Chains A and B, each alone.
Chain A
Amino acid sequence: MKIDVKHTAELSRITLTPEELEKFTPQMETILESVSVLKDVNTDGVQPMKAHVKFNELREDVPQESLTQEEVLRNAKHKESGFVKVYGKVFGAIEES
């Protein structure tokens, strides 16, 4: 099974050296190979299993207290005036909503 590791890495914004690319590609192919046994299972006539919930059972629109700013930022590696700080140029080829 083939996988374009370079493309996948780019989508995840991970830079890989040519050596890493060469090392990871066969490893990932092996993983996909192992999973692909699922494709051999005959599922003709088997309905997909989906959990259902009724519309009325959904959460009502009632706000509750959030975490404090201090708690939110506790795990942030970098912060500045209440914001999470992220280094690097984040604009690139990947779409922003």
Chain B
Amino acid sequence: MEYDTIIGLEIHVQTKTKSKMFCTCPTGYFQKEPNSHVCPVCMALPGALPVPNKRAIELCMLMGLATNCTIANEIYFDRKHYFYPDLPKGYQISQYKNPICSNGSVTLPNGFEVKIERIHQEEDVAKSTHHSSTSETDYSLIDYNKSGVPLIEIVTKPCLRTAKDAKDFATQIRQIARYLNISDADMEKGQMRCEPNISIQEKGRWEEKDGMILPLGDYKLNPKVEVKNIGSITAVEKAIEFEVARLTKDLEEGKPLIQQTRGWNANKNVTEFQRSKETADDYRYMPEPDIPVIGVSNEDIERVKSELIELPHEKITRYMNDWDISQYAAEVISASRKDASYFENLQALLSEKLEHKIAAQEAANWLMGTVFALEGDKEIDMNDLSLLIMKFKEGKITKGKAEEMLKDCISNNKDISDELDMFEKSASDNAGNIQDIVKQVLDNNPKAVADYKGGKEATMGFLVGQVMQKTKGASNPNDVKNILIELLK
């Protein structure tokens, strides 16, 4: 039997605000004392009232704008009820029928368009750790610092068909979040969480309509599985692949499938049963009476839109089309906003002296070869680098010598233009006696000279190298080569 894989993704992202979603407690809770970023609102003490954070809602809108969503002109909050110690109010403030962003899409590098159903605003819950003990009953320890941190949930339609596309989508969401400074989106720190919904259905026996999977004829749909506890982007792909294989095997063996939630075990690379979902969740949603309806004007949306900068996939296309940069280089450079902006500024600087495509290619080569290799804690000054690149293009210095100089200047805090001046001065000092040095090299290497004269032209490289060594790199290899050719005639 042939099956189709049907995947929908739910991605939670903690957005980067200074204060919490509904109170003024600071958000930076990572590695802080437990219960030190807590107030009556995030503790749910009686009478505490939630006051929405404007910046948080702007960041939710920004994610929506970056993923081609429609932004609502009225914002409603709802209460989602469930009873669990990590949720002191007994409900989470979330959004039910009217999310801030809806009907968006993201295009993957392979051209596949992922449909986004909604992006809504909610609040994170407390962190709980569960403990078993032989001397007392099981218990949990709760830290409310995370309770109330702004959280957005991105929900795709069940339109994904492969584990790879799901992984690429999660990667793209993470990249957008980082580019637009919406979130650091570090999955290991729990700033981004991915939960795929997976089912497999017989080929040709189902259809997708308005984001719903519907059976055709008398076909009965197979139940879906939700996977939680995924701690990295690669685990998104692995967990889905594991589930598809597991579901296919169970079906082939005639085992009944049940709707269930499973957890990813990253040590064993398997998903493990957590609980079955025989009944639909009953969250008893109701409008949040403590928060008024928030009116959003088109001007408000336009203001948020001004924060939208060119996104990585747009940069890749532009670099390739306008500047003939290879796809690989374009992807590497655009992966972080910092690198992309360094590259673009360097290109602009070099364009003052070089043709714009050549400027871009030199910038890309030097960034990927030299800057990435040398850059530690300290950023390489762009003016210094462009000075070196120009000297290299003029044939005044070799790439190896330029890199060496750059490294020396970084680690010993030297001024690159001083170094270049000294280098050029010693180069011109050497120019006078370069003839002598070349003669000396020829005298010392009679075999190489004989080889060259016998037709082995590759020997020239060796001879040039010998001269360069003696002048400590302070001469122009092309000049040296010309002198050698002249003397060897």
Contact = CB atoms under 8 A, between A and B. Distances in A.
Interface of A: 7, 11-13, 50-56, 58-64, 66-69, 72-73, 78, 80-91, 93-97
Q: Which of A12, A54, A96, A97 has the most CB of B within 10 A?
A: A97
Interface in B295-344: 295-297, 300
A88 B142 contact: no
B39 A66 contact: yes
Q: Nearest 5 A-B pairs (CB), nearest first?
A: A61-B55, A83-B141, A58-B54, A51-B292, A64-B24
B37 interface: yes
Chain B interface, >50% SS class? loop
Given A82-B34, A86-B139, A62 B294 contact: no
A56 to B, nearest CB: 7
Given A11-B282, A61-B17, A63-B26, A69 B35 contact: yes
A60 B54 contact: yes
Given A69-B36, A87-B139, A95-B281, A55 B296 contact: yes
Contacts of B128: 86, 90
B139 A88 contact: yes
Q: How large is the interface on B (under 10, 10 to 19, 20 to 34, 35 or more residues)?
A: 35 or more
A55 B57 contact: yes
B197 to A, nearest CB: 14
B65 to A, nearest CB: 15
B177 interface: no
Nearest to A7: B282
B83 interface: yes
B278 to A, nearest CB: 9
Given A53-B293, A59-B24, A86-B85, 13 more contacts: A50-B292, A54-B295, A55-B294, A55-B297, A55-B300, A58-B54, A63-B24, A66-B26, A68-B36, A72-B36, A82-B35, A84-B143, A87-B137
A21 B85 CA distance: 25
A79 to B, nearest CB: 9
Contacts of B19: 61-64
A52 B38 CA distance: 28
B402 interface: no
Interface in B17-69: 17-19, 24-27, 33-40, 43, 51-57
Interface of B: 17-19, 24-27, 33-40, 43, 51-57, 75, 81-87, 90, 92, 122, 124-125, 128, 130, 136-144, 275, 281-284, 292-297, 300
7 contacts: A66-B26, A69-B35, A84-B85, A84-B141, A87-B137, A90-B128, A94-B82
Contacts of B40: 67
Contacts of B27: 63
Contacts of B140: 85-86, 90
Contacts of A72: 35-36, 38, 43, 144
Contacts of A63: 18-19, 24-27
Contacts of B38: 66-67, 72
B21 to A, nearest CB: 10
A73 B143 CA distance: 10
Given A94-B82, A94-B83, A86 B142 contact: yes
Contacts of A86: 85, 128, 139-142
Nearest to A78: B139
A11 B141 CA distance: 22
Contacts of B92: 97
B83 A80 contact: no
Nearest to B278: A93
B81 A83 contact: no
A10 B458 CA distance: 85
Contacts of B295: 52-55
Contact of A84 (B90, B125, B142): B142
B294 A83 contact: no
A53 B142 contact: no
B247 to A, nearest CB: 22
B204 to A, nearest CB: 34
Contacts of A84: 35, 85, 141-144
A83 B282 CA distance: 30
A11 B83 CA distance: 7
B52 A59 contact: yes
A89 B35 contact: no
A60 B55 contact: yes
A73 B35 contact: yes
Contacts of A89: 138
B33 A62 contact: no
B84 A96 contact: yes
Contacts of A97: 82, 86-87, 92, 122, 124-125
Given A67-B39, A83-B143, A84-B144, A93 B275 contact: yes
A93 B56 CA distance: 32
Contacts of A53: 292-295
B18 to A, nearest CB: 5
Contacts of B296: 55
A61 B142 contact: no
Contacts of A88: 137-139
Nearest to B127: A83
